[in-house]
Amino acid sequence: MHALILVDIQNDFLPTGALPVPEGDGVVPVANALLPAFDLVVATQDWHPAAHGSFAANHPGRVPGEMIELAGLPQMLWPVHCVQETPGAAFAPGLDTTRITHVVRKGTDAGIDSYSGFFDNGQRQATGLKALLRAHGVTAVYLLGLATDYCVKFTALDARRLGFGTYLIVDGCRGVDLHHGDVARALADLQAQGVTLLNSADVLAGVSAGE
Ligand code: VGL
Ligand code: ZN
């Protein structure tokens, strides 16, 4: 069984959102084109309490882009984003959510961030994504979404580390690239760790070829 994982395709990561990813809306048509090719589709949502420790606003005198320590780990400070039950945390308009079979939420503990859809950044608590995939006999995962250099990267690295065949659909991802080169470095790191980089057309061609 192969699963499609849609990473954090949420309003706050679109160009008009609170933590805008340049061209973030460009992943929506790629996701929609691939959805019918998968029986198991998991969408992750960044799902923070308002008091989340990754928000610069919760640290007097700090601004987004600065680093602090959170849960004993280096932590980038972000604008307030993807607060639980707010419009910013909702799936992007135009995403065909009717084909999403499971939703996994992360970043729900105010005291630690969670870039990966599998575990928090300290690898302390699991989200349930690994158990879900195992329960369905998933052997390979295909990932796309936002942002290439944060949540997509760490979700793909964990998938690979857990032993899933891991395929990153590059044209279905966009990155923050806060420091120019972050996206290119993320893709190189992923490839070095055994993640296969491909494009949506490759996936669709493979499906129609009966793979
Ligand atoms: C993300 C920064 C903070 C992401 C989430 O989805 O890539 N990035 N929270
Ligand atoms: Zn976040």
Phi, psi of 57 (to 5 degrees): -60, -20
What is the structure's pLDDT at 208? Answer: 55
Cα 9 to middle of ligand 2, angstroms: 12
pTM exceeding the 0.85 threshold for the entire prediction: yes
Q: Give which of 12, 7, 1 is closest to 144, Cα–Cα.
A: 7
Q: Among all ligands shown, which has an atom nearest to the Cα of 146?
A: 1
pLDDT for 200: 98
Residue 8: active-site member: yes
CB of residue 146 inside a 6 A radius of ligand 1: yes
d(CA 56, CA 68): 9
Q: What is the pLDDT of residue 197?
A: 98
* Active-site hit among 82, 149, 151, 153: 151
Domains of the chain as residue ranges with CATH: 2-49+79-204 (3.40.50.850)
Q: Is the CB of 18 under 6 A from ligand 1?
A: no
d(CA 185, ligand 1 centre) in Å: 17
Nearest atom (ligand 1) to Cα of 147: 7
- Which among 192, 151, 145 is positioned nearest to 170, based on CA atoms? 145
- The pLDDT of residue 157 is 98
Predicted pLDDT at 20 = 98
Q: What is the mean pLDDT of each run of 10 residues along the chain (211 residues)?
A: 98 98 98 97 98 98 98 98 98 98 98 98 98 98 98 98 98 96 98 98 79 53
Q: What amino acid is encoded at 120 in this protein?
A: D
pLDDT of residue 204: 95
What is the per-residue pLDDT for 207? 62
User: Quick check: CB of 147 below 6 Å from ligand 1?
Assistant: yes
- Closest Cα to atom 2 of ligand 1: 150
Which atom of ligand 1 is least distant from the CA of 54? Answer: 3
Q: Annotated catalytic, 106?
A: yes
Of 12, 3, 4, nearest in space to 146 by CA: 12
Q: Which of 56, 30, 45 is nearest to 88 (CA)?
A: 45
Measure the CA–CA gap between 70 and 74, rounded to whole angstroms.
6
Residue 130 designated active-site: no
Residue 192 CA to ligand 1 center (angstroms) comes to: 22
Q: What is the pLDDT of residue 209?
A: 58
Q: Report the candidate in 148, 182, 144 with the shortest Cα–Cα distance to residue 166.
A: 144
Residue 206 confidence (pLDDT): 85
Report pLDDT for 211. 53
